[in-house]
Amino acid sequence: MHASQYNSNKLRIWVEEAGYRVLILTILLLAGWLSSVYGLSRYSSDVTKNSTGITAEQSSAAQTENVTVSGVVFDDRNQNGVRDAGEPGVAGVLVSNGLSFVRTGSDGSYTIELIPNHDLTIVQPSGWRVPTDERMVPQFFYIHKPEGTGYEMRFGGLPPTGPAPATINFPLTRSGAAGDDFTCIAMGDPQTYSNEQLGFLRDGVFNDLKQRGLTTSDCLIYVGDVVGDDLGLLDRLLELGAGIGAPQWLVLGNHDVDFDARSNDDKADSWRRIFGPNYYAFEQGNVLFVVLDNVFYPCTREDFERGRMNCDPSRNPSYNGRLTETQLQWLEALINETPEDRLIVLSHHIPFVSFVDATSNQHQTDELPRIYAMLEGREVLSLSGHTHTIENHAPGQVFEGWNEAVGVSSLPFRHIVVGAASGAWYQGDFNVDGVPMALQRMGAPMGYLNLEFTGTRYTERYVGSRLGEHRGQWVSLNTPEFRSWFDEIMGWWRTPAAQRGDVPPRSVHDLPDPQLLVPADFNRDGGVWLTANVWMGSVETRVHATMPDGRVLELQRTQQGEGEAARIGAEWADPFATMRQLTVARHGIISESGDEKAQGFEVFRGRQLGPTAPMPQSSISDRNMHLWRVQLPELQPGVYPIRVTSTDRNGQTYTDVITVEVRTERPPKHWRSELWR
């Protein structure tokens, strides 16, 4: 049970001694009234039935020892949260204590040992649905930390849960459960640091999702960094997300932890109080979804001695990407309990591997060979966030740095880094909806990953916020003028601030029209390249351009994923994205209101950017694993509408038309005032 589960208006007390019922109910109702008046925590270790129906009978067992609990998982046919006469138990449901599993018997009953500071959960079985609270948060767990956090935390931590109940029952319903076909949305890094940024999320990605018509048979997975360090924003975010219509399943990210935790055992205490467990699993259709916690915070001397230099004990606390030994054992036990014909989808915040952070120890996940060995022979998909990139890694792919950092020489199954709902942390200029464009590190827009499941098969499609499902790529030209412009700004940007001027050497206004060429452009300084940034592109994606005369040009992926390092610089950059990233006018917004926060704009943890001259945003797409290009042949003067089509591994296509002009000489860019003198 957690904060949202305590609701004094819906509380019911189930004890054997009927004479005590009225007295206990009166006391708890009074406690609820006091809580509402004086702002006391909504968490209560004495609650024996929460508002969504998980019931518990208290015991007086010692708080610091393992205790045995029993209960029933039942078919809540009237959905009142109470096991009424005639409501049978549900057989074969997995119940876990955070380490091991048991299955319910033919009557729905189970018995398992509870472990201090490990939560009791059930795995939502296929064909069934666990209840959700008013925030559309699934209720499938009992939070168990008898003595609580034990010290003060910024966001409250976890109050003592008290003695373990002797009996804990879990309701299920068939109503609204998923069949073989359903939709799941994977959303990475909403990462809202403020209520202003929550408004951006509401008006951007959430607005799109609320028009999708999702239901309780679908799912919405937040792949970590749900908020940006301020856990006090989580309830508002969940309330806004509830209107999307699908159950909200959350993954813990490195910006969702208690930063004042003294050990990894406590780092998710406020999260557990507000949302629920930090690792768990659920089934829908023929898919097992496994939510992992691979944010180890604060990391330890053990991590440091294994080469994770950010974990130096003499420095400020940091995190490392790894699972605890207990969680690894839990995962192996879960896999062993899962039928071999199931698709397994692993959701975790820090990627197992990443293109943009291929050489990093901290931003990829340890123990991968062990995890891969557990999953050998299974159909598996990995979903992650963290990097604010979209990366669709096909089986067999590898980049330089993976083997040295995490011991991976080839991928055994598909790994998708799902992109960020915050884009590049809500930077960039405003779009027409008043939401920052915030193009991500490899140039894709903020948005979400749409997964359509049919049995154990799935199709992936990335949807850019406020752009519609018909767009999936940017098309542009990489010209000699662009490369010179890019290099000059990036050279200035990479110079320490104290050693450079206050104004960038060039802005987007200094860049000649990139789609207006002269004959010399084709034969100087590398020529002209037609580029396509296909956001969800993978090694299986094919891209071609059709010229007006019918000629077809095949575009080639700039990164093959055959063990090479990232190719970095103007030649490998996406011109469409960088033209919007390298000059952000929002830095210069200023007023006489007297409000310091209204000058420039606020980003991470209250950091203020501006007011200054327009500046680059913090992340620039100077490398890319989903960029395709072809060198344009020399074109005679004229107008050339070029049709660029990408086709992904599932046959989904995106088409854009770019119009290229070739003139004998470049016409003047601005108003010809000399004609009016």
Give 272: exposed, middle or buried? Use CB within 10 Å, 0-12, 13-18, 19+.
buried
Helices (H) and strands (E) in the chain, counts: 11, 31
Residue 22: per-residue pLDDT: 37
**Beta strand spans in 232-275 (E):** 248-250
Please write the tens of the pLDDT for every residue from 662-676.
999 999 999 999 999
Asked if residue 474 lies in contact with residue 443, where contact means CB atoms within 8 angstroms, the answer is yes
At 69, list the tokens. 């609990």
**Helix orientation angle between 234-242 and 195-203, rounded to the nearest 10 degrees:** 20
Give 524: exposed, middle or buried? Use CB within 10 Å, 0-12, 13-18, 19+.
exposed
> What would the mean pLDDT of 84-89 be, rounded to a whole number?
95
Asked if residue 449 lies in contact with residue 462, where contact means CB atoms within 8 angstroms, the answer is yes
669 vs 653: CA distance, rounded Å: 35
Average pLDDT, the chain: 92
User: Which of 414, 408, 359, 416 is CA-nearest to residue 386?
Assistant: 416
Residue 24 — pLDDT band, cuts 50, 70, 90?
very low
320 vs 168: CA distance, rounded Å: 35
In this structure, the strands spanning 320-321 and 295-296 are: antiparallel
Asked if residue 621 lies in contact with residue 490, where contact means CB atoms within 8 angstroms, the answer is no
- Of 270 and 14, the one with more pLDDT: 270
Residue 59 — pLDDT band, cuts 50, 70, 90?
low
567 vs 585: CA distance, rounded Å: 29
Query: Does residue 547 surpass a pLDDT of 90?
Result: yes
* Amino acid of residue 203: D
Residue 66: per-residue pLDDT: 83
Considering 51-55, 252-256, 606-610, the range whose residues carry the highest mean pLDDT is 252-256
Please write the tens of the pLDDT for every residue from 272-290.
999 999 999 999 999 999 9
H-helix or E-strand spanning residue 239? helix 234-242
> What would the mean pLDDT of 327-351 be, rounded to a whole number?
98
Residue 81 — pLDDT band, cuts 50, 70, 90?
confident
- Cα radius of gyration (the chain): 27
271 phi and psi angles, rounded to 5 deg: -55, -45
Query: Does residue 445 surpass a pLDDT of 70?
Result: yes
Distances (CA, A) of 579 to 316, 468, 563: 37, 22, 30
303 vs 321: CA distance, rounded Å: 10
Task: Report the percent of the chain where pLDDT is more than 90.
Answer: 89
Query: Does residue 17 surpass a pLDDT of 70?
Result: no
* Amino acid of residue 413: F
Print the SS3 string covering 620-636: CCCCCCCEEEEECCCCC
- Of 14 and 54, the one with more pLDDT: 54
> What would the mean pLDDT of 381-406 be, rounded to a whole number?
98
- Of 525 and 18, the one with more pLDDT: 525
- Of 62 and 567, the one with more pLDDT: 567
* Amino acid of residue 65: E
401 vs 406: CA distance, rounded Å: 8
Residue 250: per-residue pLDDT: 98
Residue 53 — pLDDT band, cuts 50, 70, 90?
low
